[in-house]
Structure 1
Amino acid sequence: MTEKKPIELKEGWGFMQNGIDKLIRVLEGQPEEQFNAEQYMSLYTTIYNMCTQKPPHDFSEQLYDRYRSSFEIYIKEQVIKSLLEHHGEVLLKELYIRWQNHKLMVRWLSKFFNYLDRYYVMRHSLHTLKDVGLICFRDRVYEEIKKQAKDAILRLIEREREGELIDRTLIKNILSIFIEVGTGGMECYERDFEVYLLQETASFYKRKAAEWVDQDSCPDYMLKAEQCLKDEEDKVEGYLHTSSKPKLLKEVEQELLANYETRLLQKENSGCAALLRDDKAEDLSRMFRLFQRIPRGLDPVAEIFKEHVENEGMKLVKEVTEATESKKEKEAGKGPSKDSGTPYEQQYVRSVIELHDKYLQYVSSCFCNTSLFHKSLKEAFESFCNKSVAGASSAELMASFCDNLLKKGGSEKLSDEAIEETLDKVVKLLAYISDKDLFNEFYRKKLGRRLLFDKSSSDDHERSILTRLKQQCGAQFTSKMEGMVTDLALAREKQQSFEEWMRINGKKLRIDFNVTVLTTGFWPFHKVVELALPQEMVDGVELFKSFYETGNKRKLIWYYSLGTCHLRANFDPRSIELVLGTQQAACLLQFNDSEQLSFSEVQLRLNLCEDDTMRILHSLACGKYKILLKEPASKIIAKTDTFSFNKKFTSAQRRIKVPLPPVDEKKRVIEDVDKDRRFSIDAAIVRTMKSRKTLLHQQLVLEVVQQLSRMFKPDFKLIKKRIEHLIEAEYLARDKDNPMMFQYLA
């Protein structure tokens, strides 16, 4: 059998060249039939045979080189020449056609030369046939034409930014070339196109921003900026690579937002303050969306928000203070007002609640509940909520507001649901008050009056607010108040037991007698006033003592100043039921035996001090109801006055309540709170020093402030005084070498 004659290089390549020429004519759109299966197999087989022949007829290396040369010759003779004839958009279209043709040529030739890929390329670690074709295009076409292509794309993008319609598909197709010639990397796209795109973008928006910021209001500018950002995102979706998105948007944000933020926010009639003033919620939401895109872009917005809310709050403080002062001037000389908050002060708390609702809604809806804006809201409310309002603290006003809300006959006529909602809001406002202990004392005092005098409109509401206060301020904050509520329930049971005990033991009293037994530590009433009771009352007191002391070792202390009596007074026109305090009732009963009594006689019979006697006589002789007649007649009680029962007194009402002149409870509450604060500071100092043993003055003060800040803001001078007091009491000692260092003495 004879060996097959080897195919020579010239002969074999001549056959392959004919196939390549045919392929080029097809690509160039010249009249030419497509390859059939027989032609394809013939070309494939030729390469196979030329690569598998024994040396020296193995032409793999020469064929690999000529494969590359085929592309280079075609590119040089036809592709480059064709591209250089065009410019702009036409160039881009031609470039895309040439790229598509080139990929087609690579696909067909790599099939013809496939055997090279399978053996020769693998053995010699060379570029694959596909990569060779791609590299040829990159080195011969892309490098030659990339600048013109990039410029043409950027011109199209600028035209689109100016509002023209462009061929987006064409741009996307051309940019795919920038990406694909990178052979798996993004270097070509980034180096040869993206960097110029970012420069052009910055330049374009720099011009636009300078133009818009002068002619547009802040809302109009923001509308344009937001639309520009959407347009740029749309470009990424339409034809740019996704990796360009953050870089592109960063350039737009820098030029449109960061560079002009201060100027935009502070525009006189349309900046952030104006939008807040005019309640432009939609524009504020847009402002938030835009400026959150730039680093620390929301900080100045939050600061303006804080200043605006603070100014609104201070405006409320000023209005109420002025209204209250004006009312005081008008009422000068008309006598003291009632203890409860004035309508202005009640309205102040209501206005603060409404203000908080409004701007909390802004934080929620416009500023997406961002912690930065919650912080600004908190700081703003802390600022004005801790200011004095018409001589009263917000702690006192809030306690009065709650009292008005919870007592029977209060001015706030609300449904149960509205009361619950309002209580919840008041408790939330309490978070901004630094003197929570002051609120606690005022509230506890008013709660005591509501409970003792049956003024509370609902036990459920009372428990509800205590639950909220407990959640907000801790169990210690409400422990005494919860004890008061529990006390009253137990007191009712105790009264029932007393009545049952009297029935069983056959005891009777000439008067209806009710006793409310309370736990001393819970209730905010401290002053015990001795009173010489009428015999009817003495009988009741003694009988209750007998009942209570049976099996109970606790001591009873009687607070007559908190008692209430119902007396029937027989006046000449008709009898009237009088609702009085125990001391007032004891005073009136003295006139059953005597037609006329002097001041000193009344004082002696009642066993009261001068001040208390004056208050009682003033309420009966100089107040709204003249139950007693005073000689000489005047509005001031003197020690030389004499008093008699006013038999001719009458009233349209069958029952009247005779109030005592108000006392300045505010002063007493503040004194009690100050005393408690001294104890709290002492305890905090000792607690801190006990755990640390030695500590510098500054560190000790800071730790004490931190411990107590939940309830009140301690004064630094007071802390210093309490430290000195504890040194004198030998709880602490100064270090011998460093007077600013303290040591704990066990």
Structure 2
Amino acid sequence: MATVGSKPSGVGGGSSMLKQDKTQPQFEDRWEGMRPTVLKLLRQENVSRNEWHDLFWEVYSVCVWDDKGVDKVNEALKHDIVEFVQQAKQRVLHDQDESALLKAYIREWGKYFTQCDYLPKPFKPLETATGKGSGAQQKKANQQNEDSTVRKLMLESWSHYIFSKIKQKLQESAMGLVLAERNGEAFEKQLVIGVRESYVNLCLNSEDRLQIYKENFEKAYLDATEAFYKAQAPNYLAENGVQNYMRYADSKLKEEEMRASRYLDTSKGSNSMSLLTECCVECLVSVFKEEILRECAPMIKNNETDKLNLMLKLMDRVPEGINPMLRDLEQHIIEAGLADMVAAAEIITTDSEKYVERLLELFHRFSNLVKEAFNDDPRFLTSRDKAYRHVVNDTKVFRLELPTKNKSAVSKGQPESRCPELLANYCDMLLRKTPLSKRLTSEEIESKLRNVLLVLKYVQNKDVFMRYHKAHLTRRLILDTSADSEKEENMVEWLREVGMPADYVNKLARMFQDIKVSEDLNQSFKELHRNNYGNVADNMNIKILNAGAWSRSSERVPCSLPVELEDFIPEVEEFYRNKHNGRKLQWHHLMSNGIITMKNEVGMFDLEVTTFQMAVLYAWNQRPLDKISLENLRLATELPDHELRRTLWSLVAFAKLKRQMVLMQPEAKSPKEFVDGTVFWVNQDFAVIKNGKPQKRGKINLIGRLQLSTERSTEEDKEGIVQLRILRTQEAIVKIMKMRKKLNNAQLQTELVEILKNMFLPQKKMIKEQIEWLIEHKYMKRDEGDINTFIYLA
């Protein structure tokens, strides 16, 4: 029976060939022709293209036409493979020297493994002939096991006859070479790589192709690494100290990672690199963690940034290794910051500019430390912020006593830092016409204001800053002393951007609107009364302001005004009633000022004075040479005793004047020493002194810092801060409970602090008191089953 078939093309390529046999091909007839080619392939000898193609055809023919051909081919092939492996074994084991053994093994294995790719190709028909089931099932089976029968046979034979016999020696030799490299000796790196590859490639487990490698080579490599550094590291540390050891450990970690990338398997699914890194970190760093970390605090103190950077690299590899460093940094910032502030206390307690600049210098110093030593790691930035917040809000140098209300009286509460007050003072110096603002450019002023906002971010009680900032802004707007109106309005928007409470910022914005509206009203009033009062009307500047945005105190100080001013008050009130029916004006003389002209024997001088100073000086308007007692001045001005004393003191002891405006007898060192019999008179020799010479003309500002509050209202201000905090706390608690309906005490306090933190940090005592107040007034109640759980009452 004749057959016609096409001969499959092999690796060598070439054209297809047709062959027709008149007899059925049998294994016995064909194997003798196939075997020489098989042996040539095993021995890596040259195979011609015709021999290669003939082998494909002969195998195919036998598998198709001989019923038992597949089994016979398998048996014959197995015999030749085993025989070849046995011969290779003899060549490998010929020399017992470890190095020679390793080289012989790598050489034989390399050639053999290469043929594992070529020899199976002609025998593919064996796979088809033994396959069962549908084509789809067979395809799936082939995908699950990529190794052909012949390849599997070749690898199993090598593993059984050679590898299993000498793998321990191979492993030990390879580890010996790695040890030699660690000790600085040179060798052929390919030897270790070849051993590793044989461990990887000999595994036929389809579930885990790295099983043999992991259980043997990887384990031996990790054990050898651990043993080496357990012996080396302690000695190096003892001989060279911690700082040198850190450099040693860092270099060894990098070195081992590079070495592992050569000698360990890095294919997908292998975790050898991570295991090696863990092993090295444990041996080189974790074991000596305490000794290394003991050096952290001194390094931070001495600003040894390079060494700290190295310590960070090492400790970041160790679980929880960074935490002690974070604590050391935090402690250093607190201690160094407070020590610096205490050392400079005499200067900064009297100069808000120096205080803010010192705070900023500390912030930039600590920020540079975090940047250079810790690469601006977010964890270290958080520690910096936490510690700096402690410095800013500390009360050792600056203390603000706020009262706390209880049922019996008003007593002093927990002291707070004066930082927000001093920040507000510094802003005032930048925004007001002062020597500081005059010598700075617009860009420099903006930069410094931004710096204030940077510090303000760390202030706990921002409500105090806002209260003082508003007072300074009020003073600047009333006295028209703002250096740059655009900067003033920008500052309000910047406060909004940094998260200041919206209602505070909105009130500041309304103040600017009021000033603009007031200017329009003032202009209308002047035009209306110019015919009646002439130049007097032009010289009047009336500010009509909204009490809700501006008022600081409920107290209005009585004062007897000069007749010239008293005449205008009914006119202004009538004008305003016609403009805004139903609204009522309240006059705040405390916040008013003006300019009066004084003539004496020396010359004529324009005096910028407060309304209270004007009232006192007008007592001498009709009797310029008289001496008037304190008691009579009190009757003439109708000022409260304390305000009168404070005003007189500003006239008899004004710091900037070499010749005082008013003289007194007897002498006093403070306004408290005035008695009813103390007499005062206008200094007829008063003059402005320039270059040591009295001037005949001049303008003098006696206002200084316009007093916006009386002694009583200053206390009211502080109580107002506390009262507003109480209301804010109540409001926030109700808001939370209305949303949550039911909440335990711990959760309530957490959410409350989160809501209020941009204004102030509520004390636990205040929170407890306001919860009790709200329970008492039926806004909420305690859960009957748990007294620490609260329920909202609609």
TM-score grouping bracket, smaller chain normalisation: 0.7 to 0.9
Within 1, Cα distance between the matches of 2:752 and 2:112?
Answer: 80
| CA deviation map 1:394-421 (0-9, x unaligned) | 1122222222222221546433223222
Partner residue of 2:512 out of 480, 485, 494 = 485
Within 2, Cα distance between the matches of 1:678 and 1:46?
Answer: 100
Higher mean displacement: 497-506 or 468-477: 497-506
Within 1, Cα distance between the matches of 2:743 and 2:57?
Answer: 95
Aligned to 1:231: 255
Aligned to 2:15: none
Aligned to 1:327: none
Aligned to 1:330: none
Partner residue of 2:187 out of 145, 148, 166 = 166
Aligned to 2:730: 682
Higher mean displacement: 686-695 or 636-645: 686-695
Contact 2:63 2:129 (8 Å CA) reproduced: no
Aligned to 1:469: 495
Contact 1:434 1:713 (8 Å CA) reproduced: yes
1:50-199 matches, within 5 Å, as: 50-54=62-66, 58-106=68-116, 109-110=119-120, 113=123, 115-120=125-130, 128-183=149-204, 185-199=209-223
Partner residue of 1:376 out of 375, 380, 383 = 383
Within 2, Cα distance between the matches of 1:60 and 1:398?
Answer: 95
Instruction: Indicate whether 1:516 and 2:562 are aligned.
Output: no
Aligned to 2:609: 580
Within 1, Cα distance between the matches of 2:785 and 2:309?
Answer: 60
Instruction: Indicate whether 1:276 and 2:300 are aligned.
Output: yes
The TM-score with structure 2 as length reference comes to 0.82
Contact 2:744 2:788 (8 Å CA) reproduced: yes
1:67 is displaced (CA, Å) by 0.9
Aligned to 1:649: 686
Residue 126 of structure 2 aligns with an amino acid whose one-letter code is L
Contact 1:487 1:519 (8 Å CA) reproduced: yes
Aligned to 1:631: 665
Unaligned runs of 5+ in 1: 28-32, 325-340
1:127 is displaced (CA, Å) by 5.1
Residue 371 of structure 1 aligns with an amino acid whose one-letter code is P
CA 1:620 to 1:105, structure 2 compared with 1: closer, same or farther past 3 Å?
closer
Higher mean displacement: 714-723 or 460-469: 714-723
CA 1:642 to 1:135, structure 2 compared with 1: closer, same or farther past 3 Å?
same
1:702 is displaced (CA, Å) by 5.5
Within 2, Cα distance between the matches of 1:633 and 1:530?
Answer: 28
Partner residue of 1:539 out of 567, 582, 586 = 567
Within 2, Cα distance between the matches of 1:313 and 1:431?
Answer: 17
Residue 685 of structure 2 aligns with an amino acid whose one-letter code is K
Instruction: Indicate whether 1:262 and 2:290 are aligned.
Output: yes
Higher mean displacement: 570-579 or 544-553: 544-553
Contact 1:586 1:606 (8 Å CA) reproduced: yes
Residue 150 of structure 2 aligns with an amino acid whose one-letter code is L
CA 1:128 to 1:610, structure 2 compared with 1: closer, same or farther past 3 Å?
same
Within 2, Cα distance between the matches of 1:253 and 1:463?
Answer: 57
CA 1:649 to 1:71, structure 2 compared with 1: closer, same or farther past 3 Å?
same
Aligned to 2:590: 561
Within 1, Cα distance between the matches of 2:156 and 2:100?
Answer: 24
Contact 2:501 2:758 (8 Å CA) reproduced: no
CA 1:486 to 1:284, structure 2 compared with 1: closer, same or farther past 3 Å?
farther
Instruction: Indicate whether 1:640 and 2:650 are aligned.
Output: no
Aligned to 2:279: 251
Contact 1:566 1:578 (8 Å CA) reproduced: yes
Residue 287 of structure 2 aligns with an amino acid whose one-letter code is N
Higher mean displacement: 544-553 or 356-365: 356-365
1:264 is displaced (CA, Å) by 0.7
Instruction: Indicate whether 1:445 and 2:476 are aligned.
Output: no
Within 1, Cα distance between the matches of 2:88 and 2:782?
Answer: 98
Aligned to 2:361: 354
Residue 550 of structure 1 aligns with an amino acid whose one-letter code is N
Within 2, Cα distance between the matches of 1:166 and 1:645?
Answer: 105
Contact 1:438 1:670 (8 Å CA) reproduced: no
Within 2, Cα distance between the matches of 1:376 and 1:606?
Answer: 58
1:223 is displaced (CA, Å) by 2.6
Q: Secondary structure at the match of 1:655?
A: strand
Within 2, Cα distance between the matches of 1:292 and 1:391?
Answer: 40
Contact 2:501 2:759 (8 Å CA) reproduced: no
1:286 is displaced (CA, Å) by 3.2
Partner residue of 1:599 out of 610, 619, 630 = 630
Within 2, Cα distance between the matches of 1:148 and 1:502?
Answer: 116
Within 1, Cα distance between the matches of 2:771 and 2:60?
Answer: 102
Residue 167 of structure 1 aligns with an amino acid whose one-letter code is E
1:673 is displaced (CA, Å) by 0.7
CA 1:69 to 1:605, structure 2 compared with 1: closer, same or farther past 3 Å?
same
CA 1:116 to 1:481, structure 2 compared with 1: closer, same or farther past 3 Å?
same
Higher mean displacement: 567-576 or 658-667: 658-667
1:194 is displaced (CA, Å) by 0.4
Instruction: Indicate whether 1:455 and 2:481 are aligned.
Output: yes
Residue 672 of structure 1 aligns with an amino acid whose one-letter code is G
Instruction: Indicate whether 1:550 and 2:594 are aligned.
Output: no
Within 2, Cα distance between the matches of 1:40 and 1:406?
Answer: 95
1:360 is displaced (CA, Å) by 3.2
Q: Secondary structure at the match of 2:464?
A: helix
Count of aligned pairs? 717
Q: Secondary structure at the match of 2:587?
A: coil
Within 1, Cα distance between the matches of 2:98 and 2:80?
Answer: 29
Residue 505 of structure 2 aligns with an amino acid whose one-letter code is T
Aligned to 2:428: 403
Contact 2:424 2:465 (8 Å CA) reproduced: yes
1:346 is displaced (CA, Å) by 3.0
1:119 is displaced (CA, Å) by 2.7
1:696 is displaced (CA, Å) by 6.4
Within 2, Cα distance between the matches of 1:726 and 1:111?
Answer: 88
Contact 1:578 1:656 (8 Å CA) reproduced: yes
Partner residue of 1:241 out of 256, 265, 276 = 265
Q: Secondary structure at the match of 1:644?
A: strand
Instruction: Give the superposed CA RMSD.
Output: 3.4
Higher mean displacement: 630-639 or 214-223: 214-223
Contact 1:564 1:582 (8 Å CA) reproduced: yes
1:643 is displaced (CA, Å) by 2.2
Within 2, Cα distance between the matches of 1:119 and 1:735?
Answer: 81
1:279 is displaced (CA, Å) by 2.8
Within 2, Cα distance between the matches of 1:517 and 1:191?
Answer: 90
1:533 is displaced (CA, Å) by 0.9
| CA deviation map 1:686-729 (0-9, x unaligned) | 44555566766666655544443331122233334444555665
Residue 599 of structure 1 aligns with an amino acid whose one-letter code is L
Partner residue of 1:419 out of 432, 442, 445 = 445
Aligned to 2:412: none
Aligned to 1:710: 758
Contact 2:592 2:610 (8 Å CA) reproduced: yes
Residue 459 of structure 1 aligns with an amino acid whose one-letter code is S
Within 2, Cα distance between the matches of 1:112 and 1:628?
Answer: 123
1:15 is displaced (CA, Å) by 5.3
Contact 2:347 2:354 (8 Å CA) reproduced: no
Q: Secondary structure at the match of 1:515?
A: coil
Residue 560 of structure 2 aligns with an amino acid whose one-letter code is A
Within 2, Cα distance between the matches of 1:79 and 1:740?
Answer: 81
1:186 is displaced (CA, Å) by 0.9
